[in-house]
Amino acid sequence: MNLILSTSFFSFLTSCAAFQSTPAARLPTRLSLSNERIKASGCGIPTVRSGDCLLFDPEVEGKLQGTGALASRIKAGSAYNLPHDATIIEYNGASVPHSAEILDAQHWLEYLDEGSDLPLNFAKPNNPVTATVLARTRIIADDAPGDIQHIILRLPEGMHYVEGQSLSVIPSGTDAATGKKHKPRLYSIASTRYGDILDGNTISLCVRRAEYYDPATGLPDPAKKGVCSNMLCDSNPGDMINVAGPVGKTMLLPENPNSDVIMIATGTGIAPFRGFMHRLFMENTVARHMFGGTAWLVLGVPTTGGLLYKEEFDAMQKNASPGSLKIDYAISREMTNEIDGGKLYVQHVIAQNAVEFFNRLDNGASCYFCGLKGMMPPILETLEQVANANGIDFDSKLKEWKANHQWHVEVY
Nearest in space to 267 (alpha carbons), one of 335, 191, 366, 345 = 345
CA separation for the pair 128, 166 (Å, rounded): 14
Residue 24 per-residue DSSP state: P
Residue 240 to residues 133, 189, 197, Cα–Cα distance (Å): 6, 18, 19
Whether the CB-CB separation of 346 and 330 falls below 8 Å is answered with yes
Q: Following DSSP, what letter does each residue of 146-213 receive, concatenated?
A: S-EEEEEEEPPTT----TT-EEEEE-SSB-TTTSSBPPPEEEEB-S-TTTTTTSSSEEEEEEEPP--B
Cβ proximity of 294 and 323 under 8 Å: yes
Q: How far is CA 338 from the centre of its chain?
A: 32
| Catalytic residue numbers, as ranges | 187-188, 370, 410, 412
Beta bridge partners of 189: 205
Phi, psi (degrees; rounded to nearest 5) at 153: -120, 145
Is residue 234 within 8 Å of 114, Cβ to Cβ? no
The string of DSSP letters for 351-402 reads HHTHHHHHHHHHTT-EEEEEE-GGGHHHHHHHHHHHHHHTT--HHHHHHHHH
Number of H helices, E strands in the chain: 12, 11
